[in-house]
């Protein structure tokens, strides 16, 4: 049944091709970025949550900093 359903849609073959191209390109570019990105940049990004500027008023008795 599904073949007739799909054939009823204009230019149906373009849909899977479009989605494949979008996905493939996107993930290749993303992977390329992840492999080549600057280490210093990654380090500074991953340390962002730990530096929120509130150290100034950290009470001595909190357990947050393990």
Partner 1 sequence: MELVKIHYDNKIVKAFIIASVIFGIVGMTVGLLVAIQLFYPAFNFEFQYTTFGRIRPLHTNAVIFAFVGNAMFAGVYYSLQRLLKTRMFNDGLSWIHFWGWQLIILAAAITLPLGITTSKEYAELEWPIDIAIALIWVVFGINLIGSIIKRREKHMYVAVWFYIATFVTVAVLHIVNSFEMPVTLFKSYSWYAGVQDALVQWWYGHNAVAFFLTTPYLGMMYYFLPKAANRPVYSYRLSIIHFWSLIFIYIWAGPHHLLYTALPDWAQSLGTVFSLMLIAPSWGGMLNGLFTLRGAWDKVREEPVLKFMVVAVTAYGMATLEGPLLSLKNVNAIAHFTDWIVAHVHVGALGWNGFLIFGMLYWVVPKMWGTKLYSTQLANIHFWLGTLGIIFYALPMYTAGVVQSLMWKEFNPDGFLTYPNFLETTTKILPMYMIRAVGGGLYLIGVFIMTYNLIKTAYAGKFIANEEAEVAPMVKSASVGGGWHHVLESKPILFTVLALVSILIGGLIELVPTFLIKSNIPTIASVTPYTPLEVHGRDIYIREGCVGCHSQMVRPFRSEVQRYDPKFAEYSKAGEYVNDHPFLWGSKRTGPDLHRVGGKYADSWHYRHMYEPGEVSNGSIMPSYKWLFEQTVDKDLTAGKISALRTVGVPYPDGYEEQANADLDKQAAKISESLKMEGYEVAPEAEIVALIAYLQRLGMDVKSAKTAEVNK
Output the CA angle 42-47-25, nearest 5 degrees: 30
Q: Is 24 in the site for partner 1 (CB under 8 A)?
A: no
Judged by CB under 8 A, the residue of 19, 21, 24, 25 near partner 1 is 19
Separation between Cα atoms, residue 7 and residue 49, nearest integer Å: 52
Separation between Cα atoms, residue 28 and residue 15, nearest integer Å: 20
Residues that bind partner 1 in the complex, under the rule CB under 8 A: 1-2, 4-6, 8-10, 12, 15, 18-19, 22-23, 26-27, 30-31, 33-34, 36-38, 40-50, 52-54, 56-57, 59, 61-66
């Amino acid at each position: 049944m599904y073949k007739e359903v799909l054939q009823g849609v204009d230019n149906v073959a373009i849909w899977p091709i479009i989605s494949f191209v979008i996905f493939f390109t996107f993930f290749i570019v993303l992977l390329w970025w992840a492999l080549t990105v600057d280490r210093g940049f990654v380090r500074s990004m991953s340390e962002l949550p730990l530096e929120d500027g509130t150290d100034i008023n950290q009470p001595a008795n909190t357990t947050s900093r393990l």
